[in-house]
Amino acid sequence: MIKINKYFFNLVIIFTFIFTSTAFSLPKGYPKCVNSDVNKSDYCPLESKLGHKLILVDFTSRWDSAQINWIKGRIFGDALISTTAPYHRISYLKIDNTPPHSQKYVYSKCRFKTGKKTKFDGDKVNKKCEGIDFVQTIYKTWQSQIDEVEMNFFPENEEANQSLIYEYIVHVLREYKADFGSDYPKRELIIVSDLMQYSERVNFFKHCKSAAEKLKPKKQQKADKCGTFQQLMKKEKSFAKYINRTKPSEEMLKNLKVTVLFMNHSYQTRKDLYITLEELWAGLFNHMGIEFEIIPQIDF
């Protein structure tokens, strides 16, 4: 009788341990309790880095309202929440006349959890140490901050005198202060741009004009067809040396996914430019060792 009771008691202990250890499970590194494991100022885990989504938006050309609406629907609102796991950092950085090293994030905090059951395991409430009302109140505060960023994000911008797209990409991958290093297990760089790099070192408006376009009066000329990346490297020796000297190392590219939301600024270029411009950037990304996806804007 004593042996049976002892055996039964051991089974109770085993099943209790299994139940308590599996009742609430989280992916590795996720904070278990908001009060003790989360930074109250930026909603990020105190003891781990889980992921970083950096949204780099090019404001060196003019935008129209349809383009703004398209981009808003991809980098804010439900699209942002449904594609970003809780406690992953979200950062917004603008490309404008400001040099990359002097530019600051418009916003950089972690996506707080919703408190509801979603496709992300980290969204649900840990009932052992968190209350649903408490978690959802903080989530609403976080969401209101994102809504405020969206409301003030798109200015009435004009053309800038330079467009340092390549330099901004390299800056966030190389510089420690960008906090976008490979110490994050998951990184996504979303680039919103017309991809028309132009600076003293290299000007895609010059590289992307056909012979027929160059015969027109200068004020009527528009970019219409780009040469290949290989042709650019061969023709512009200074640019080739610059790219080879500054491109990111293999370590800087770990855990990195790049998505380009390719804007079409037709007032600057001919309508079919995007075909060869995509190919030009594909050559550049491949040379840098970056895996990427380009999503073109549809005609409005």
Tell me the two tokens of residue 56.
């780099």
For residue 123, give the nearest of 53, 30, 23, 187 by alpha carbon: 30
Any idea which residue has 């929440």 for tokens?
81
Question: Mean of the pLDDT values across residues 116-122?
Answer: 92
Does the pLDDT of residue 243 top 70, yes or no? yes
Q: Check residue 214 and give its pLDDT.
A: 84
For residues 145 and 130, what is the distance between their CA atoms, to the nearest angstrom?
Answer: 22
Radius of gyration over every alpha carbon of the chain, rounded to an integer in angstroms: 24
* Ramachandran bin of 107, using left for φ above 0, alpha for ψ from -120 to 50, beta for the remaining angles: beta
DSSP letter at 202 equals -
Q: Is the pLDDT of residue 12 over 50?
A: no
DSSP 248: P
Task: For 28-84, write each residue's pLDDT tens digit.
Answer: 889 999 999 999 999 999 999 999 999 999 999 888 888 999 999 999 999 999 999
pLDDT in tens, 195-229: 999 888 888 888 888 888 888 888 788 888 899 99
Domain parsing of the chain, residue ranges: 2-296
239 DSSP assignment: H
At 19, the pLDDT band (50, 70, 90 cuts) reads very low
Q: Which CATH architecture has domain 2-296?
A: 3-Layer(aba) Sandwich (3.40)
Best CA proximity match to 229, nearest among 253, 201, 204, 211? 204
The dihedral of CA 227, 297, 88, 177: what is its sign?
Answer: positive
Amino acid 245: pLDDT: 94
Report pLDDT for 210. 83
- pLDDT at 14 (0 to 100): 47
**pLDDT tens digit sequence for 132-182:** 999 999 999 999 999 999 999 997 766 778 899 999 999 999 999 999 999
Task: Give the Cα separation of 26 and 30 in Å (integer).
Answer: 6
Task: Check residues 219 and 291 and name the one with the higher pLDDT.
Answer: 291
Cα 262 to Cα 137: distance, rounded to the nearest angstrom: 36
Contact 84, 111 (CB under 8 A): yes
Q: Does residue 23 have a pLDDT over 80?
A: no
Using DSSP's 3-state secondary structure scheme, residue 53 falls into strand
Q: What's the mean pLDDT when you consider all of the chain?
A: 88
Alpha-carbon span 230 to 181, nearest angstrom: 29
Do 278 and 207 touch, CB atoms closer than 8 A? Answer: no
The answer to whether the Cα torsion of 160, 95, 202, 225 is positive or negative is negative
Structure tokens at 245: 């000297």
- Of all residues in the chain, what percent carry a pLDDT higher than 90? 67
